[in-house]
Amino acid sequence: MLEITQAQKQIITDKSRYKVIVAGRRWGKTHLALYNALLNYCWKTKGVRVWFVAPTYKQAKNIAWVILKEICYQYPQLIRKVNEVELYIEFINASRFELKGADKEDLLRGLDKENST
């Protein structure tokens, strides 16, 4: 089970609009970004779509998919559907978290930039 560290919790609860995080490898930056997006967008706002965008689709899957599922499976009551092929998780409030790759820019059209990680 993935848990948020005290340092990560401090960043999530900080009310600053912009945050700069200087952290080394394996500090948990991806975990923090995913958890923060879930907490502040998917689980709080009905019908929102959040994207995690990596340089390629394969990298998005390799970097974030396992972590995203581990976080979400801690709250199974919030999950409506998990799609392993298209790499998205849909929640009971009709919000959806999707993984995308920037290598297919046509698939990124229409993205609300405030809801991307």
Q: What is the pLDDT of residue 115?
A: 58
- The neighbouring-strand residues paired with 98 are 51, 88
**pLDDT grade for 111, boundaries at 50, 70 and 90:** low
Whether residue 40 has pLDDT greater than 60 = yes
Phi, psi of 98 (to 5 degrees): -125, 145
Residue 117 lies in a domain: no
Per cent of the chain over pLDDT 90 is: 74
In 1-117, DSSP assigns E strands to: 49-54, 79-83, 88-91, 96-101
CB 35: neighbour CB atoms within 10 A? 21
Cβ atoms of residues 51 and 104 within 8 Å: no
Q: How many domains does the chain have?
A: 1
Cα separation, 19 vs 59, whole angstroms:
24
Residue 20 lies in a domain: no
Residue 42 lies in a domain: yes
pLDDT digits 0-9 by tens, 48-60: 999 999 999 999 9
Residue 75 lies in a domain: yes
Q: Which of 47, 48, 111, 51 is nearest to 87 (CA)?
A: 51
Domain span including residue 100: 1-6+28-105
Cα separation, 74 vs 3, whole angstroms:
10
For the record, the structure tokens of 41 come out as 């967008």
